[in-house]
Amino acid sequence: MDNIVRDFFISLSQNKTLNQGAKKWGLRLGAQNVVAGTNVDEMIESVKKLNAAGISCTIDNLGEFVFEKEVALKAKEQILAVIESIHTNDLDAHISLKPSQLGLDIDLDFCSENLKEIVKKANEYNIFINFDMEDHARLQASFDLLDELSSTYDNIGTVIQAYFYRAKDDIEKYKNYRLRIVKGAYKEEESVAYQNKHDIDKNYIELIEWHLLNGKFTSIATHDHHVINHVKEFVEKHTIPKDKFEFQMLYGFRVDMQHALVKEGYHFCTYVPFGEDWYGYFMRRLAERPQNLNLLAKQVFNKKTNTLIGVAAAGFLLGRLTKRNK
């Protein structure tokens, strides 16, 4: 059943018509609970509140799979503006970005130049840049860009996706980087990725443990309290200091647990997405872990009536799409 739900939301994330419509709807379909606004000013206010609670942030200017240079250049300028805002407001925050938003699918050199400008500016302010890894078709090119830029700059890290067979080789190669370890959120072929939840979960835990013991700094991205409790026991058993790792969760998910982990003395970072291009991100978060739908529903139903109406509208929309695809 989980695979059916996952495939359903991944197919929704790739629907261009719905993606365009979502930009017109704004965040009225429940996504306002998990996306920190559509512009820099709204996002900065959200980050300030999180920082005040002792939570660090990684900021994602939403957008990906860009095929026009002018769109990629606009994204670059937006990210540069976010870097300036982090510096000006003295925020505890860094940047997460996707190479495909900056021209990976247009021209590799063009993308490299955009990334170089961003990394250089961030380096001047001692701000970390995380390369979010995407689907398998873009994976090696993204690692190649990471290799190219890290030969000059040391303020770069990346993501290891546990569902890929190659993940163990990648984590060993990049052990001296700050790494975020995730399960993976795209639909991949059996030839390159595990399909079974048990296999993915097993590899995920093994990657976390290996990097905690051998790596530079580990960001453990999960909402699963079982994984979190396992990590707590593992680091205590192996006397791994708390400044060698952090837990990460998505903005708007399991907020009480985020604050509880901070109170327990763990480093915590919230992944803060913002922007008009929120739809694909929102759908993949639901695909990535079907339980996220339950978490979102619980939080949404604690909001005001107008949010409930928005969720009802989303349910109606998804229902119509399902019937149309039958």
Residue 56 DSSP code:
E
Bridge partners (DSSP) listed for residue 181: 160, 220
Bridge partners (DSSP) listed for residue 200: none
C-alpha angle 39-43-46 in degrees, rounded to nearest 5: 150
Describe the crossing of helices 16-25 and 279-288 by its angle, rounded to 10 degrees: 110
Residue 312 to residues 28, 223, 299, 301, 315, Cα–Cα distance (Å): 10, 25, 14, 11, 5
Counted residue by residue, the chain has a size of 326
Q: Which two tokens stand for residue 61?
A: 């200017």
Bridge partners (DSSP) listed for residue 275: none
Among all residues, which ones are annotated catalytic? 132, 180
Instruction: Measure the CA–CA gap between 218 and 235, rounded to whole angstroms.
Output: 12
Instruction: Measure the CA–CA gap between 187 and 70, rounded to whole angstroms.
Output: 28
Q: Which two tokens stand for residue 182?
A: 């995730």
Single-letter code of the amino acid located at 191:
S
**Taking Cα atoms as reference points, which of 143, 63, 149, 160 lies closest to residue 114?**
149
DSSP string, 235-276: HHHTT--GGGEEEEEETTSSHHHHHHHHHTT--EEEEEEESS
Rounded to the nearest 10 degrees, how much is the dihedral formed by the CA atoms of 12, 36, 41, 268? -130
Instruction: Measure the CA–CA gap between 198 and 20, rounded to whole angstroms.
Output: 35
